[in-house]
């Protein structure tokens, strides 16, 4: 039979464990939160492309190649010297569009500002030579306005600017290095349509975000 | 087309599935003529490697005939007889440029899982779960091969399908295992696992200069085959204490290099093995590192341990102290197929390596499940089942 002493001891251990786990989770969550500055979320992401800086710049400035690379993913339309209209498409046929003001601030540096899209954004990209002949580092800083609930919903749904930035950097790297973004969604399988749909949902989660 | 699909842990079924299509400029479609079962498939079938989905098509070691090429393909034409490296490599990233193809940055379209599990995502692999990109495998009549100019190689005339199929995986894996050992001539090399990869590693070590090769396994027929075909010494670990035997065979020094070609489901006798089985079954560790432990303990001071058996995650009781204090070199990895295949095809054509004897059980695709059962249970002297869709 359990006596009162044992009960209190168990209660104490349980409480101490709960507090410890709670603090660990809170600390971990805090470490994974983006920086906040003046009401903006600020994230910095980078990717290394195994090409010279001129070749990376060439990818952006060769309009025909850029359009070919973006085909099926997004279209770009230049509205005037600085303003661009971008329409991004998802596989379900949905479209998101926004207008961005892009400013080239010198060789290898550009900034952009989105004010009429789904979420206000400020961005900056710098190109730097990677060490040991490893090509070019694309360093991106993105500032966006969001709230904790909206951000959490975006993370769960895979529709969040930080995830999109990481996807975009990885896509850009792949397009410059090997001319395509590989995709296995249409590969054959023995799945029923419902199973294939569930698998595609899992694929989306394994494709979205990541380290870049 | 017909394809052998994974239907859940331990379950395989042949199904009618759609034929693959060209999806990118560099794709080729290959009609599969021979597709081997591989020890790492067993980890997938048995649920030890994560991210398998019901309906996935297995198979990554294969050869066949080019049926269709994308507009960007330059090196291959329809009708070419080719062998394809199981690792997918883009050919354009830093890792591919430096011939570390299995670390390709761009060939795994689903990198998030492995980035979380391993810190970074290595290359995609055909027919090897959604952790390796979700590519359809080669146990089918046709397969799409991305980056065909990089991953497919024309096969020399006169080399039979059931030999050349092993140039896809077992041969380059074995060669890389021996290459890792940094042999300069006269060394003693011990190889754990007398399966296809282990035997190719043993033969490769001989070709790279090893004076003696000692193979360790528990199946007498495999050890006998290795002795007859390659001329190695053998230790049956079910009958002999491996560490003591290796010390005696090397007059106390230990092997100069130890190759581990077993992987995460390695077997042993005794209480440590029982402990590993329980921990793995309870998912408290993902892999059983029995043979890695032995390799580290057996290796001579300052020697090299080369690991090409497949591991997925976490292991327990890893003898890091032995590795550190004996100043061992530990090298490991999935093979860089595209680096080694051209050289290995030359050696195949010259008769320096002949892996055809590994194909003990040529079977039809419909017999695929039976082929895996024979292979897993090592029944009927099965070294490898090779499916002919």
Q: What pLDDT digit, counting tens, does each position of A41-64 carry?
A: 899 999 999 999 999 988 877 877
ipTM score of complex: 0.91
What's the pLDDT score for residue A154?
67
Q: pTM for the whole thing? A: 0.90
Tell me the CA distances in angstroms from A158 to A123, A202, B106, B111, one per residue in order: 20, 11, 21, 15
Residue B99 contacts A where some CB pair is shorter than 8 Å: no
* pLDDT tens, residue by residue, B281-303: 887 778 889 999 999 999 999 99
Residue spans of the domains in chain B: they are 2-169+335-388, 173-332
Residue B13 contacts A where some CB pair is shorter than 8 Å: yes
Q: Where are the beta strands (DSSP E) in B319-389?
A: 329-332, 361-364, 385-388
Choose among A135, A179, A203: nearest Cβ to B94: A135
Residue B107 contacts A where some CB pair is shorter than 8 Å: yes
Angle between helical axes of A53-61 and A63-70 (0-180°, round to 10)? 80
For residues A54-76, average pLDDT: 79
A149 or B53, which is more confident: B53
Q: How confident is the model at residue A31 (pLDDT cuts 50, 70, 90)?
A: low
What's the pLDDT score for residue A209?
66
Rounded Cα distance, B206 and B214, in Å: 11
Question: Quick check: A111 and A123 in contact, CB under 8 A?
Answer: yes
Mean pLDDT by 10 residues, chain B (389 residues): 96 97 96 96 86 95 98 97 98 97 96 91 96 96 98 96 97 98 97 97 98 97 96 96 97 98 86 85 83 97 97 91 98 98 97 96 97 94 96
Tokens of A153: 């919903």
- B72 contact residues in A (CB cutoff 8 A): 179
Q: Do B53 and A208 touch (CB under 8 A)?
A: no
Judging by beta carbons within 10 Å of its beta carbon (0-12, 13-18, 19+), is residue B300 exposed, middle or buried?
buried
Percentage of chain B exceeding pLDDT 90:
88
CB neighbour list of residue A187: distance below 8 Å, 6 or more residues apart: B20, B134, B135, B136, B144
Query: Which residues on chain A place their C-beta less than 8 Å from a C-beta of chain B?
Result: 48, 50, 134-135, 170, 173-174, 177-192, 195-196, 199, 202-203, 205-211
Judging by beta carbons within 10 Å of its beta carbon (0-12, 13-18, 19+), is residue A19 exposed, middle or buried?
exposed
Does domain B2-169+335-388 fall into CATH 3.40.50.2000? Answer: no
* pLDDT tens, residue by residue, B39-53: 989 989 988 877 899
Antiparallel, parallel or unpaired: β B385-388 and B28-36: antiparallel
Do domains B2-169+335-388 and B173-332 share one topology? The answer is: no
If one counts every other C-beta atom within 10 angstroms of the C-beta of residue B250, the result is 17
> Which residues, listed in sequence order, are joined to residue A77 by a DSSP beta bridge?
A85
Percentage of chain A exceeding pLDDT 70:
86
In terms of CATH architecture, what is B173-332? 3-Layer(aba) Sandwich (3.40)
The domains located in chain A, with CATH, are 42-61+100-182+199-207 (3.30.530)
Rounded Cα distance, A197 and A185, in Å: 10
- B91 contact residues in A (CB cutoff 8 A): 178
């Amino acid at each position: 039979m359990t006596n009162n002493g044992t009960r209190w001891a168990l209660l104490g251990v349980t409480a101490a464990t709960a507090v410890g786990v709670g603090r660990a989770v809170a600390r971990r969550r805090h470490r994974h939160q983006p920086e906040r500055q003046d009401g903006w979320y600020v994230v910095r992401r980078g990717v290394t492309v195994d090409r010279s800086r001129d070749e990376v710049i060439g990818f952006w400035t060769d309009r025909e190649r850029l359009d070919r690379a973006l085909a099926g993913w997004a279209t770009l339309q230049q509205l005037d010297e600085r303003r661009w209209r971008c329409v991004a498409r998802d596989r379900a046929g949905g479209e998101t569009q926004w207008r961005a003001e892009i400013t080239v601030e010198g060789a290898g540096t550009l900034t952009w500002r989105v004010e009429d899209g789904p979420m206000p954004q400020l961005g900056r990209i710098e190109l730097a030579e990677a060490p040991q002949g490893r090509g070019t580092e694309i360093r991106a800083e993105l500032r966006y306005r969001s709230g904790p609930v909206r951000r959490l919903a975006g993370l769960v749904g895979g529709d969040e600017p930080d995830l999109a930035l990481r996807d975009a950097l990885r896509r850009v790297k792949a397009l410059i290095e090997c001319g395509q973004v590989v995709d296995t969604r249409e590969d054959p399988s023995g799945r029923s349509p419902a199973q294939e749909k569930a698998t595609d949902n899992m694929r989306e989660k394994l494709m979205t975000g990541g380290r870049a | 087309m017909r394809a052998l699909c994974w239907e859940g842990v331990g379950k395989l079924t042949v199904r009618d599935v759609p034929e693959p299509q060209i999806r990118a400029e560099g794709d080729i479609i290959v009609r599969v003529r021979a597709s081997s079962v591989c020890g790492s498939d067993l980890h997938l079938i048995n649920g030890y490697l994560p991210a398998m989905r019901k309906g996935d098509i297995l198979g990554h070691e294969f050869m066949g005939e080019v049926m269709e090429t994308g507009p960007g393909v330059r090196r291959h034409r329809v009708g070419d007889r080719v062998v394809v490296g199981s690792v997918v490599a883009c050919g354009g990233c830093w890792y591919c440029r430096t011939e570390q193809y299995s670390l390709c940055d761009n060939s795994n379209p689903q990198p998030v899982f492995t980035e979380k599990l391993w810190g970074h995502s290595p290359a995609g692999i055909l027919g090897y779960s959604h952790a390796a990109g979700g590519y359809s495998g080669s146990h089918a009549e046709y397969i799409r091969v991305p980056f065909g100019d990089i991953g497919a190689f024309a096969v020399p005339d006169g080399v039979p399908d059931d030999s050349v199929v092993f140039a896809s995986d077992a041969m380059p894996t074995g060669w890389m295992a021996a290459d890792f050992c940094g042999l300069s001539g006269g060394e003693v090399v011990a190889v754990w696992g007398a399966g296809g990869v282990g035997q190719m590693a043993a033969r490769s070590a001989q070709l790279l200069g090893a004076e003696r090769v000692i193979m360790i396994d528990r199946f007498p027929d495999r050890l006998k085959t290795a002795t007859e075909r390659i001329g190695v010494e053998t230790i049956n670990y079910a009958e002999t204490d491996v560490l003591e035997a290796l010390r005696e065979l090397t007059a106390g020094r230990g092997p100069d290099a130890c190759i581990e070609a077993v992987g995460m489901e390695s077997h042993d006798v005794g209480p440590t093995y029982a402990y590993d089985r329980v921990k793995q079954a309870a998912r408290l560790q993902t892999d059983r590192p029995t043979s890695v432990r032995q390799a580290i303990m057996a290796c001579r001071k300052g020697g090299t341990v080369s690991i090409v058996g497949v591991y997925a995650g976490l292991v327990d009781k890893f003898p890091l102290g032995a590795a550190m204090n004996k100043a061992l070199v530990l090298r490991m990895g999935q093979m860089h197929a595209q680096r080694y295949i051209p050289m290995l095809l030359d050696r195949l054509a010259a008769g320096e390596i002949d892996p055809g004897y590994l194909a003990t059980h040529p079977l039809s695709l419909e017999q695929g499940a039976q082929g895996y059962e024979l292979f897993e249970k090592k029944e009927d002297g099965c070294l490898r089942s090779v499916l002919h869709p």
